[in-house]
Amino acid sequence: MEPDSISKHQLNARRVHLSMFDKKKFISDQKSYLAFLEMEKGLSNNTIYSYKQELEKLKQYFQNNKINHSAVSEQQAIQFIKTEAIKGIALATQSHLISALKSFYKYLVSEGMMDHNPFANIEFPKKWKILPHYMSISQVIALLNTPDQTRPLGIRNKAILELMYGTGLRISETTELKLENIYARESFIRVMGKGNRERVIPLGDKAKNFLEIYLKEIRPTLLKNKNNTTVFLNRRGEKLTRQGLWKIIKGYGRQLGIASTFTPHTLRHSFATHLMEKGADLRSVQMMLGHSSISTTEIYTYLTKDKVKKMYDQYHPRSKE
């Protein structure tokens, strides 16, 4: 009986030891790791300092919760990350924290101080989960019908909105558009986007019709015999500025009561999302938007998937218990 009682006592003592925070041991391992980063990895002082700051957060958490850093479980590691995330730190800051701790425990494993890396399977937060706002088709139609087409500037603004929604142009691309970049007969426009990347975008009938009305009937009256090849002009015959167009579009948003969530870029997001919802392929949408990487365009697939899921939950009889 006595040997059994001794073994239980030793086991309980070991459990108590593993649940205690050993400050001296943590500091020793921390110093060893930071020296490794400097001597072996050749990292800069600023980088090493940033890693030290992340380890200080971990030390404080383990100390407060009486967790031995040499015996931490994956669940305890996850709980620490959740605790930091609740504080509202940015996704980039969360990613840096996770990266630093993955590296720290990878070092402890390589040195034989640990037999596992509790942070190894923790995923980095995904920035694409912060999805852009877009409008429903009915909201877009309401916006397109807002300009007063009995007034010359109303016709101009109608043409602008139809063009931006019909082609996905950025606001700066709209104000910089030149007459020579419009190919009405062939139904496309040529745009110089970010990074001086040129792209060709189809011009739909609606956008083309209102653009032609503006160019034939309104633009000549605004131009007043000035030499200006910019498509969209202000009342003085000068190029409509980005700031000026921003105010115009935001004004229409206020009329519709959506100013808090609506920006000129919302039209671009709506253009891409509605194309994806109607079955457009990702590569074509990428080309029309002028994205250098298709991963940037992929965000719109998540928007459409989210909408499909909501429709399923709403209408399918077996979607919920």
User: Which residues are catalytic, by number?
Assistant: 170, 194, 265, 268, 291, 300
Contact in structure between 108 and 26 (CB atoms under 8 Å)? no
Contact in structure between 196 and 173 (CB atoms under 8 Å)? no
Residues contacting residue 108 through CB under 8 Å, at least 6 positions apart? 29, 33, 70, 114, 117
Paired tokens of 306: 């989210």
Residue (of 171, 236, 240, 173) closest to 201 by Cα position: 173
Contact in structure between 2 and 20 (CB atoms under 8 Å)? no
Start-end of H helices in 111-170: 137-144, 152-167
Helices (runs of H) and strands (runs of E) counted in the chain: 15, 3
Contact in structure between 293 and 281 (CB atoms under 8 Å)? no
List C-alpha distances in Å: 67 to 116, 178, 216: 16, 65, 75
> For 218, how many CA atoms within 13 A lie in the half-sphere containing its CB?
23
Between CA 268 and CA 263 the distance in angstroms is 10
Q: How many CB atoms within 10 Å of residue 118?
A: 22
